Amino acid sequence: MSSGTAAMAYIVEAFIDHTASSGAATQFLRNIFAFGFPIFAPSLYKMLGYGVGDTVLAAIAMCCGIPAPFILWKYGEKLRAKEIKL
C-alpha cells in the first residue's frame, strides 16, 4: 500500500459525509502533479542529470511527506471539527 492510498483513506474517513468529494479532491491533486511532472522533468534531468535530479525530487518528497503525519496528528481533530461551508 502506498502512502497516497493511506492518505486518501484518511481523508475519506475524516470527511465521511462527503466521501465522494473528498475522494475526488485527492485524485485531483494527484492528477495535477502527474500533469505537471512531464513539463519540468526533461529540463530538470538535462540540467542536473538523473542521479542529482532524482535526489532533488526525493528531498522534496521527504520535506513534504515526513512532517505530514505529525501535522495531521497535531491539528487533525481541529481540521475535522471545522464545518464545511459551501
Least confident interval from 4-8, 15-19, 23-27, 47-51 = 4-8
Gap between the Cα atoms of 53 and 40, Å rounded: 11
Q: How far apart are CA 37 and CA 57, in angstroms?
A: 10
Instruction: State the residue for C-alpha cell 495531521.
Output: 72
DSSP state of 1: -
Stretch 51-71: mean pLDDT: 87
This prediction has a pTM of 0.58
Cell of 4: 497516497
